[in-house]
């Protein structure tokens, strides 16, 4: 369980390790995540886990690629070549390791951090909300554009559909740019598609 004292320590860690703009983003994600958690009726425990995940989700984002790799070595984090060649994704794995190794946070928290950029095979409500809140927090430069407003409305209505739509958008955008899509994003999209179609 993430109690008040632990959440306070996580907030202090974020304040100590992040630049002012990244800290503002992190606190924005925490607030957006809490709003969605209340809207979707998450339990007190799930909400505390979500809050911990939001506070730590970008905790290693400002490390150099070399420092990321050092952390991977120190904590035996195995990365595939897709991830090693994608610096924007590395921080979700090292961030999850900080949550597990340094703060002994439960797997639900670590898993949400581990999938917040790419998505993943299995995403519970905590992981889905973190993934969406990371995009929806109002400090983002793209806040207020039509796609994001649409995503916000969808996130309130149906977390699965909102994640699915956003993952499809990401995949399309990356393909248009001729960039590789991370296999985890393809897997996450396929899993969300299956769940969404099953329910219809």
Which spans of this chain sit near Fe ion (rule: CB under 5 A)?
58, 134
Which residue do the tokens 């505390």 mark?
A: 48
Question: Shortest distance, CB of residue 136 to Fe ion, whole angstroms?
Answer: 11
Query: Residue 49's closest CA among 134, 143, 127?
Result: 127
Q: Taking the complex as a whole, how short is the minimal distance between the CB of residue 107 and Fe ion, in angstroms? A: 19
7 vs 193, beta carbon nearer Fe ion: 7
CA distance 186 to 171: 8
* Alpha-carbon gap, residue 81 to 199, rounded angstroms: 35
Taking the complex as a whole, the smallest distance from the CB of residue 25 to Fe ion amounts, in Å, to 6
**Identity of the residue, 32 or 58, whose beta carbon is nearer to Fe ion in the bound complex:** 58
Residue number with CB closer to Fe ion (4 or 120): 120
CA separation, residue 33 to residues 53, 65, 99, 147 (Å): 10, 28, 18, 19
DSSP state of 42: -
Q: Find, among 52, 58, 47, the residue nearest to 23 by Cα.
A: 58
Cα four-point dihedral sign 106, 110, 116, 122: negative
Rounded least distance, CB 197 to Fe ion, Å? 29
- Give the shortest CB-116-to-Fe ion separation in angstroms: 6
Whose Cβ is closer to Fe ion: residue 30's or residue 58's?
58
Cα–Cα distances in angstroms (integers) from residue 72 to residues 10, 65, 139, 155, 185, in the given order: 21, 11, 30, 33, 21
Please, which residue, 58 or 170, has the CB nearer to Fe ion?
58
């Amino acid at each position: 369980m993430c109690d008040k004292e632990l959440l306070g320590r996580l907030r202090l860690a974020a304040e100590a390790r992040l630049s002012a703009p990244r800290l503002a983003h992190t606190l924005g994600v925490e607030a957006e995540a809490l709003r969605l958690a209340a809207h979707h009726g998450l339990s007190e425990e799930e909400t505390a886990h979500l809050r911990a995940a939001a506070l730590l989700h970008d905790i290693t984002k400002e490390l150099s690629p070399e420092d990321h790799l050092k952390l991977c070595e120190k904590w035996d984090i195995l990365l595939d070549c897709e991830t090693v060649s994608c610096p924007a994704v590395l921080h979700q794995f090292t961030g999850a390791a900080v949550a597990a190794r340094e703060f002994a946070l439960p797997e639900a928290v670590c898993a949400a951090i581990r999938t917040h950029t790419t998505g993943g095979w299995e995403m519970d409500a905590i992981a889905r909300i973190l993934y969406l809140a990371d995009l929806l927090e109002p400090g983002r430069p793209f806040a207020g554009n039509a796609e994001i407003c649409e995503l916000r409305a969808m996130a309130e209505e149906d977390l699965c559909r909102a994640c699915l739509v956003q993952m499809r958008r990401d995949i399309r955008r990356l393909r248009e740019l001729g960039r590789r899509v991370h296999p985890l994003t393809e897997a996450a999209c396929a899993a969300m598609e299956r769940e969404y179609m099953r329910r219809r």
